[in-house]
Structure 1
Amino acid sequence: MKNRKLLLATVILITFIGGIITGVLISGNSSNTVKIKQASKSNIQPAEKEKPVTDQSQSKVLIGYVQDFRDPNVVDYDKLTHVIFSFAHPTKDGGMLLNGDSALGNLRKMVANAKKHDTKAILAIGGWYHINGGESYDYFKTAISDPASRSKLVNELASFADREQLDGIDVDFEHPRNEADAQNLAAFVKELSEQLHPKHKEVSVAVYSKIHAVTLTEVGFVQFDPSMFQYVDHVNIMAYDGQWDDGYNAANLSPYPYTEAIVNYWSNLFDTLQITREKLVLGVPLYAQPEDPKIKQVSFAAIIDQNEENAVNDTVSINGTTYHYNGETTIKMKTKLALDQGFGGMMLWEAGLDAHGPHSLTASIFETLKDSDNDSNKNYSSKNN
C-alpha cells in the first residue's frame, strides 16, 4: 500500500512538472507558431438602404472619344466621365503602334487634363483605318487569331496602361465578320479583362449598331459572341454612319427612328442574355454628313459658327451643300430614350467636334443626364419620407 501511494505521488509530480516545461517551451517559441487564417466574412451582407446620388457623383456615364491629332485642351473634361484616346493600332504579330511622337504627346496631355477633372482616361485600340495603310481589320484579325500574338497584344496594352497611368482600354475591332472573328474577339476581350480588372482598370468595346438604317432590321454581316459582353464594363454602340446603308444617303446618318430601332435591339438582346442594360452606352455623332459624298464631313462646331440658329435643326445648307446632323433637340431626345430604356449613359464621336458655349451638345447631354439623376433623387426622397 505504501509503495502504491509512493508510485501515485510520483506520477502526479511528473505530470505537474511536464506541464510547466511544456508551457515554457510554447511560450518561448511563440514566433514560430502557425497562424490560423481568419475565416473570411460572409458574402451575404445585411441589406442597406440605397443612398441617393449626389451632384458630385453622376450615376450615368458620358464618354467622349478624342482623335489622336486633336488638341487635348479643347475637350470639356468637366462634363465627361470618360475620355477615350483614338487610336492605338495593332500589328499583326501582337504589337501596338501610336501615330508618332505627337500622338503620344497628345495622349499624355489628355491623361493629365482628365486627372484634373476626375475623368477616366482610356486608350482605344483599333479603329477604322490603320496607320500603315488600309483598314485595320486585317491587322487586328491576324493579331487576335493566334493565341500567342493575342496574348502579346494583351500584355502590350496592359503594360502601356500601367506606364501611362490609364484607367482602361477600349476595343474597337471593325468589324468581326464571321463566327471565328467573333470568338477570337471574345477571347481577346476576356484575356484583357483578366489583366486589367484586378488592377481596377476598365475594359469597354465599341460595337456596330447591328441595325440597317433603311429597313430598321438586324443585319448579319457583323457578328459578336455574346459571351464577350460579360467581360466588359461598357458597350459603346456606334449608332451612326447609317448613310452607307442601301446606297449612299446622307439623311440616314443617324435619324431618331434609326436610333430607336438600335436601342430596342440592344435592350432586347441584353435582356435575353440576362446582362444588365447599364452596360449599354448610346453613341451619337457630333458631325454632319454632306449629301454629296465627294465633300468632306463638317463638325457641329462649324455648323454653329455658320449660324447659331442651326443648333436646334438637323439639316443645314453651307456653300450650296446640304448637310445632315443631330441638333440639340434630337440629341436630347436620344439621351432621354437611352435613359428610359435603362442604358448606362451616352457616348460622343467625337468630343473635339463639338461647339463651345451655350450650344455645346456635350453640355446638352450632360444637363439631361444630370436632370435625370436629380429626378431619381427626388423620387427616392419622396418614397422614404
Structure 2
Amino acid sequence: MKKLIVLLTIVIAFTFAGGFYAGIAYIEAKTIEINPDLHLTRSEEVKLETKELPEKNTAPSKVLMGYVQDYQDPDKTDYRNLSHVIFSFAHPSENGEVLMSGEYAAENLRKTVRLAHNQDTKVLLAVGGWFHIKGGESYPYFKKAISNVDTRTKLVNELMKMVQQENLDGIDIDFEHPRSQDDARHLAAFMKELKTELKAVDKELSIAVYSKVDSVTGQENKSVVFIPSMFHDVDYVNIMAYDGQWDGGYNAANLSPYPYTENVVHYWSGLFEEHGLSKDKLVLGVPFYAQPEDPAESVLTYGAVIRKGAENAAKDSVTIDGVTYHYNGKDTIRKKTELALQNEFGGMMLWEAGHDAQGEQSLTRVISKVLEKSEEQEKDLFWVKQ
C-alpha cells in the first residue's frame, strides 16, 4: 500500500512538473520575435510563394483623328475627344518648298498647337490635299517635288523644320492620288525618307488614302496605285471612305452609305492581312458634311443640317429649302465605328472637325463614346484573364 502511495505521488509530481514547464515553454514561444528572413534560410525546402502582379495594360488607345482646315477658328474646335488634330493644308511646291495659305494659316496653326496640347491632343500638319494654293490640283506640284531625289529630300527637310519650329507631333501626307507605278514608287521613297527623320525625333507619320473601292460597283478602283510595303513606314493610314458620289456619274446618295463603307473596310482588312501589315494602323474616315442631290448647290456641314432641326441627327438624308442632302447621321456613324473596331482598326478619322454639331448631336461625341466603351470592355476582359 505504501509502495502504491509512493508511486502515485511520483506520477503526480512528474505530471505537474511537465505541465509547468510546458506552460513556460508556451509562454516563451508566444513572446519570441521570429526573424522571417532567418527562418526561411534554415530550410531550402521552405519557399515563400508569391504571385506577380499583372502588368499594367499599356496598349495604345484607339485614335480619333480630326482634320481641321486652316481657316477654321481654333477656339471652336473641341479637342477633348480627339487624339489628333490634323491641320490642313500645307502645300508642296515643285522645288520642294512648303507653302502656307497666308499668315492667318500660320497663326491658326500655332494657336491650334497650343490649345490642343493643353488637352493632351497631338497635332499633325497635313501636306497636300486636292487643291493647291497656286490654283488647280495639288497633284502636279506634289508629283514633281517627290519624283526628283534632290527636291524630295528638300521637301523632307522643310517639313522637319516646320515640325521643330511649330512644335508639331508629326506629319500627314495627302497625295491625291498616285496615278501610276512611278507615282507609287516615288511616294514610297518619300514616305520612307520622311519616316526616318520623324522617327529620329519621336514624331508620327500618317497618310491619307483614297478608299480604293468604287461606291457603285463595290470593286477595287485600280486607277489609284499604292505599293503596299510603303505602309510599313507609316503609323496611321487614314482611309477617305467618302466622296463616293463621283463614282459612275454624280449621285449624292453614294457619298458614304454604310454598305459602301463595309466594302472599303473589307478591302483594306484583306490587303493588310495579305501583306502582313498590322491592321491597327488602319483608321476609318467618315464625312461630317451633307452632299446635295443637285451638284449646283453648295455642300452643307453636318452642323448646319442639325441647326435646321435636331431630329435630323437620326437621319441620313433630309430636304432643306427644296434641296435633298445625303450625309451620315448618328446611328450610321455609330455603326461605322463599331464596324472598324470589329475589324481591328486602330481608330476613326473625320473630315472635318469644324463641320460637327455641338452638344448631344455631335458626331465626334458619338464616335468617342463607342471607342471608350470598347476600351473599357477590353480592360475588363484583360483583368478577367488574369
TM bracket, shorter-chain basis: 0.7 to 0.9
1:43-122 counterparts in 2 under 5 A?
49=54, 51-52=56-57, 59-122=61-124
TM-score normalized by the length of structure 2: 0.85
TM-score normalized by the length of structure 1: 0.86
Aligned twin of 2:19: none
2:178 is aligned, of 157, 161, 176, to: 176
Cα distance in 1 for partners of 2:54, 2:184 equals 41
How far did residue 58 of structure 1 move? 6.5
Cα distance in 2 for partners of 1:92, 1:281 equals 29
Cα distance in 2 for partners of 1:381, 1:192 equals 39
Q: Is the 8 A contact 1:179 1:223 kept in 2?
A: yes
Aligned twin of 1:7: none
Aligned twin of 1:366: 368
Superimposed CA distance per residue, residues 123-164 of structure 1 (whole angstroms, 9 cap, x where no aligned partner): 000000001000000000000000000000000000111010
Cα distance in 2 for partners of 1:376, 1:160 equals 37
Q: Does 1:245 align with 2:243?
A: no
Aligned twin of 1:186: 188
Superimposed CA distance per residue, residues 249-294 of structure 1 (whole angstroms, 9 cap, x where no aligned partner): 0000000000000000000000011011000000000000000001
2:300 is aligned, of 281, 298, 301, to: 298
Cα distance in 2 for partners of 1:381, 1:296 equals 51
Cα distance in 1 for partners of 2:185, 2:329 equals 38
1:31-42 counterparts in 2 under 5 A?
none
Cα distance in 1 for partners of 2:218, 2:264 equals 8
1:352 is aligned, of 351, 354, 357, to: 354
Q: Is the 8 A contact 1:286 1:353 kept in 2?
A: yes
Q: Is the 8 A contact 1:60 1:345 kept in 2?
A: yes
Aligned twin of 1:280: 282
How far did residue 173 of structure 1 move? 0.1
Q: Give the gaps of 5 or more residues in structure 2.
A: 1-51
Amino acid at match of 1:357: G
Cα distance in 2 for partners of 1:348, 1:87 equals 15
Distance 1:293 1:340, change over 3 A: same
Cα distance in 2 for partners of 1:166, 1:151 equals 19
Cα distance in 2 for partners of 1:266, 1:160 equals 31
Larger radius of gyration: 2
Cα distance in 2 for partners of 1:249, 1:154 equals 39
Superimposed CA distance per residue, residues 88-121 of structure 1 (whole angstroms, 9 cap, x where no aligned partner): 0000000010000000010011000111000001
Q: Is the 8 A contact 1:58 1:373 kept in 2?
A: no
Aligned to 1:79, the other structure's residue is in SS state coil
Q: After the TM superposition, which segments of 4 or more aligned residues of structure 1 sit over 3 Å from their partners?
A: 47-50
Aligned to 1:77, the other structure's residue is in SS state coil
1:130 is aligned, of 129, 132, 135, to: 132
Aligned twin of 1:219: 221
Cα distance in 1 for partners of 2:292, 2:118 equals 37
- The alignment of Structure 1 onto Structure 2 pairs a total of residues equal to 335
What value does the CA root-mean-square deviation take over the aligned residues? Answer: 1.2
Cα distance in 2 for partners of 1:287, 1:371 equals 26
Cα distance in 2 for partners of 1:203, 1:132 equals 25
Aligned to 1:123, the other structure's residue is in SS state strand
Cα distance in 2 for partners of 1:95, 1:226 equals 27
Cα distance in 2 for partners of 1:275, 1:296 equals 39
Q: Is the 8 A contact 1:299 1:353 kept in 2?
A: yes
Q: Is the 8 A contact 1:90 1:139 kept in 2?
A: yes
Amino acid at match of 1:100: G
Aligned twin of 1:196: 198
Q: Is the 8 A contact 1:114 1:121 kept in 2?
A: yes
Superimposed CA distance per residue, residues 170-226 of structure 1 (whole angstroms, 9 cap, x where no aligned partner): 000000000000000000000000101110100000000000000001010000011
Aligned twin of 1:289: 291
Aligned twin of 1:158: 160
Q: Is the 8 A contact 1:93 1:149 kept in 2?
A: yes
How far did residue 242 of structure 1 move? 0.1
Cα distance in 1 for partners of 2:53, 2:61 equals 18
Cα distance in 2 for partners of 1:238, 1:197 equals 25
